[in-house]
């Protein structure tokens, strides 16, 4: 399969998986990547079933095939969400201290949220002084004053993530950093370190503030 084919399959899988999640009532606590996997599998199985009964190739949109795919995706989402919830529940109730296990799990969520928040707050409140040109955010990257990918933000996020992990005392050994376990007697400072390191590094690398001359040139071309 070519790269284009793989990307197309992932996009189709994401769409089918998302439609399946919409069909299933309630909130399904499964990540986007798992939704995509379910969608890809459902799309393939739906096509196989549609071909088997001779309704895969019809004039216009193949609604029957699409219906099969969405139904299978909904079943897959419901099954996976139920299994994941059941396994997680069993894990928590099997722990000596449910409160401590749940607290460590919540701390683990902060590992990636903290550096992200640090970058966002440093950019919005310090670099841009709470001023954002919303229209520029929706222009084409090559014409927008904000440009395309902000690599400084991505680097700051990753470094903040690693720094936060080093002082984290999470749910599993993989989320228990060496500084927290060996030097801090199990204390968790991941949220604080993640925010400070990511935000400070983002500012040090140079903010992607809106250049005045570039912004004027862009607005002049509207």
pLDDT top residue among 209 and 90: 90
Q: Annotate 100-116 with DSSP letters as a single string.
A: HHHHHHHHHHHHHHHHH
Tell me if 207 sits within 8 A of 123, measured CB to CB: yes
Where are the alpha helices (H) located in 94-211, listed in sequence order?
98-121, 134-137, 151-166, 178-182, 190-205
8 A C-beta contact, residue 101 and residue 171? yes
Each residue's pLDDT tens digit, 138-174 = 888 788 888 888 889 999 999 999 999 999 887 677 7
Count Cβ atoms below 10 Å from residue 194 Cβ, excluding itself.
31
- pLDDT tens digits for 128-140? 889 888 888 888 8
Query: SS in 3 state form for 20-57?
Result: HHHHCCCCCCCCHHHHHHHHHHHHHHHHHHHHHCCCCC
pLDDT tens per residue across span 22-59: 777 777 767 777 777 888 888 888 778 877 887 656 66
Contacts (Cβ under 8 Å, ≥6 apart) of 162: none
Mean pLDDT of the region 172-188: 84
Q: Identify the three-state secondary structure at position 169.
A: strand
pTM of the model: 0.56
Q: pLDDT over 90 for what percent of the chain?
A: 18
Highest mean pLDDT among 49-58, 66-75, 112-121, 168-177: 112-121
Query: What pLDDT was estimated at residue 80?
Result: 84
Q: How far apart are CA 66 and CA 89, in angstroms?
A: 34
Q: How far is CA 89 from the centre of its chain?
A: 23
Return the domain boundaries, the chain: 3-93, 98-220
């Amino acid at each position: 399969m070519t790269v284009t084919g793989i990307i197309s399959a992932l996009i189709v899988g994401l769409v089918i998986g998302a439609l399946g999640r919409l069909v299933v009532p309630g909130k399904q606590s499964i990540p986007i990547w798992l939704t995509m996997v379910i969608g890809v599998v459902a799309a393939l199985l739906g096509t196989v079933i549609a071909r088997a009964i001779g309704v895969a190739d019809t004039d216009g949109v193949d609604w029957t095939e699409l219906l099969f795919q969405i139904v299978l995706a909904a079943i897959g989402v419901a099954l996976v969400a139920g299994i994941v919830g059941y396994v997680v529940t069993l894990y928590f109730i099997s722990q000596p201290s449910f409160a401590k296990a749940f607290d460590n799990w919540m701390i683990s969520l902060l590992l990636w949220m903290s550096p992200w928040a640090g970058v966002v707050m440093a950019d919005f409140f310090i670099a841009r002084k709470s001023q954002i040109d919303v229209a520029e955010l929706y222009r084409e990257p090559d014409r927008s004053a904000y440009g395309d990918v902000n690599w400084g933000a991505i680097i700051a996020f990753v470094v903040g993530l690693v720094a936060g992990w080093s002082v984290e005392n999470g749910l599993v050994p993989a989320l228990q950093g060496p500084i927290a376990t060996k030097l801090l007697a199990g204390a968790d400072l991941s949220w604080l370190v993640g925010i400070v390191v990511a935000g400070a590094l983002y500012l040090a690398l140079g903010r992607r503030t809106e250049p005045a001359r570039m912004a004027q040139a862009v607005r002049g071309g509207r």
